[in-house]
């Protein structure tokens, strides 16, 4: 039910109870703070906080309805991707630590929707360090009936890890955009050349924007170049970001001499070639998440130090890795832990496929901020 204050009106918990992760029946709250009162308020006065907590705790473990946190609210609670950096760094380390790291994350299941050129990905994860349990459902479509429609749509379900009840349904598109860019920024911090001045982004969609935002927030690039298959879209993005961006007519022009390159396209054949890349540059290869899709050519894959988010995923899902036969040097978590060196003086490729635990960290961040009434 729509709430005039902008959230969803659901039978659930008072604000005070939400702060302590508990809930009471028969009350209403808005998507953003909002109403407190009704029976629980009276109950609190009559029987005190301890009794309320015990009662609400029992209810929360059983039947409290989930809260819905939409994209505008996620954006408000997670205004900058950089807020995720500490949580994501820890999660990447824990993932690469194996069983000791406490991350349970099976390979994502991807269901092709062949007649429509689409895919549905199911991405569950539990992080013991965060005590958070989520699954993301993400669709991505090569062909779009309506070309203005987003190619990716996602929803994250967040569960109470103590009993498995569903606590929240969150918009996953903003989460996906921000956590992906934040992970690329982590890789870049470790792998880029010592003095990196020129940033090049190939692609001009959702990920291009989120990467532009965090990269220009964190790193002192003196020049940002942008190329997109359709130049019009690149011009639109460049004029909307509020900083100086040079739109290039060809990918080659954008890449020549760049220190850091981000590939964020829906390409299925290479758009970035080893011949063009400055020795020592760092590349974040974010697109091409199917075993027969490419963004980078064989020459670049084979001549670079290859770091991946997950070895298992890279060897199953990444056309750039599988079809080039390039050897994987490390997982990003291993570089973060220091069990593998970063080698910033070499040409490096970070092949990102996206991991469920990244969504877990981001969804918990958003849910905790919401619960705290921020
Ligand atoms: N590694 C990760 O964690 C994640 C990776 N992705 C991937 O990142 C890429 C970008 O995603 P979004 O920005 O959300 O998509 P988007 O649809 O918003 O933007 C895609 C861009 O690629 C361009 N493009 C489309 N087809 C192309 C082609 N054949 N050759 C060259 N350019 C082409 C479009 O003009 C557009 O500018 C996709 O491949 C997506 O699957 C997305 C989310 C997470
Ligand atoms: O991690 C993710 O959400 C995705 N990776 C590729 C498509 C969506």
CB 329 within 8 A of CB 342: no
Q: What pLDDT score was predicted for residue 315?
A: 98
Tell me the three state secondary structure of residue 187: helix
Task: For the full predicted model, state whether its pTM sits above 0.80.
Answer: yes
Q: What pLDDT score was predicted for residue 184?
A: 99
Distance 51 CA to ligand 2 centre (A): 44
Among 201, 287, 291, 297, which residue has the most ligand 1 atoms within 8 Å of its CB, making it the best to mutate? 287
What count of other Cβ atoms lies within 10 Å of the Cβ of residue 39?
12
Ligand 1 neighbours by CB, cut-off 6 Å: 140, 151-152, 176, 180, 203-208, 228-230, 233, 264-268, 271, 286-287, 289, 352-354
Q: In which residue ranges of the chain is CATH 3.40.50.720 found? A: 193-355
Ligand 2 neighbours by CB, cut-off 6 Å: 121, 138, 140, 152, 176, 289, 353-354
The angle, 0 to 180 degrees and rounded to 10, between the axes of the packed helices 173-191 and 85-96 is: 70
Distance 326 CA to ligand 2 centre (A): 22
CA distance 283 to 347: 8
Ligand nearest to the CA of 179: 1
Contacts of 213 (CB under 8 A, 6+ apart): 80, 81, 181, 241
Q: What pLDDT score was predicted for residue 312?
A: 98
Q: In which residue ranges of the chain is CATH 3.30.1780.10 found? A: 67-174+358-373
Q: pLDDT for 247-280, tens place per residue?
A: 999 999 999 999 999 999 999 999 999 999 999 9
Q: What pLDDT score was predicted for residue 195?
A: 93
Look at ligand 2, atom 2, and give the residue with the nearest C-alpha: 354
CB 16 within 8 A of CB 374: no
Q: What pLDDT score was predicted for residue 64?
A: 83
Q: What pLDDT score was predicted for residue 220?
A: 97
Ligand nearest to the CA of 205: 1
The angle, 0 to 180 degrees and rounded to 10, between the axes of the packed helices 206-218 and 173-191 is: 40
CA distances from 256 to 35, 274, 363 (A): 56, 11, 38
Ligand nearest to the CA of 155: 2
Domain 67-174+358-373 - what CATH class?
A: alpha beta
Q: What pLDDT score was predicted for residue 374?
A: 72
Q: Which residues of the chain have pLDDT under 70?
A: 1-63, 144-147
Domain 193-355 - what CATH class?
A: alpha beta
């Amino acid at each position: 039910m729509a709430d005039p204050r902008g959230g969803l009106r659901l039978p659930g918990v008072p604000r005070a109870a939400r702060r302590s992760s508990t809930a009471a029946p028969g009350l209403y709250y808005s998507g953003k703070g909002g109403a407190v009162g009704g029976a629980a308020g009276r109950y609190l006065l009559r029987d005190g906080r301890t009794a309320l907590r015990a009662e609400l705790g029992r209810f929360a473990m059983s039947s409290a309805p989930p809260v819905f946190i939409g994209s505008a609210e996620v954006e408000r609670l997670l205004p900058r991707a950089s807020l995720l950096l500490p949580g994501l760094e820890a999660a990447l380390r824990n993932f690469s630590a194996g069983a000791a790291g406490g991350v349970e994350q099976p390979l994502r299941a991807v269901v092709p929707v062949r007649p429509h050129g689409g895919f549905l990905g199911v991405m569950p994860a539990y992080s013991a360090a965060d005590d958070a349990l989520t699954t993301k459902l993400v669709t991505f479509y090569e062909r779009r009936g309506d070309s203005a429609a987003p190619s990716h749509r996602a929803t994250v379900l967040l569960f109470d890890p103590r009993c498995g009840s569903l606590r929240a349904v969150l918009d996953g598109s903003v989460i996906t955009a921000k956590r992906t860019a934040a992970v690329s920024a982590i890789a870049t911090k470790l792998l880029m050349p010592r003095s990196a001045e020129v940033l090049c982004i190939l692609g001009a969609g959702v990920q291009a924007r989120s990467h532009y935002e965090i990269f220009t927030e964190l790193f002192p690039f003196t020049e940002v170049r942008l190329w997109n298959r359709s130049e019009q879209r690149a011009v639109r993005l460049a004029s909307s970001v509020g900083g100086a961006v040079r739109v290039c007519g060809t990918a080659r022009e954008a890449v020549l001499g760049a220190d850091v390159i981000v590939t964020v396209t829906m390409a299925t054949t290479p758009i970035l070639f080893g011949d063009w890349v400055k020795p020592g540059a760092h590349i974040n290869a974010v697109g091409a998440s199917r075993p027969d899709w490419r963004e980078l050519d064989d020459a670049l894959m084979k001549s670079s130090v290859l770091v991946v988010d997950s070895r298992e995923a890279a060897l199953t899902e990444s056309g750039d890795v599988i079809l080039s036969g390039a050897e994987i040097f490390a997982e990003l978590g291993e570089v973060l832990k220091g069990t593998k060196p970063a080698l910033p003086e070499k040409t490096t490729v970070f092949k990102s496929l996206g991991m469920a635990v990244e969504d877990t960290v981001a969804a918990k961040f958003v849910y905790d901020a919401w619960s705290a009434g921020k």
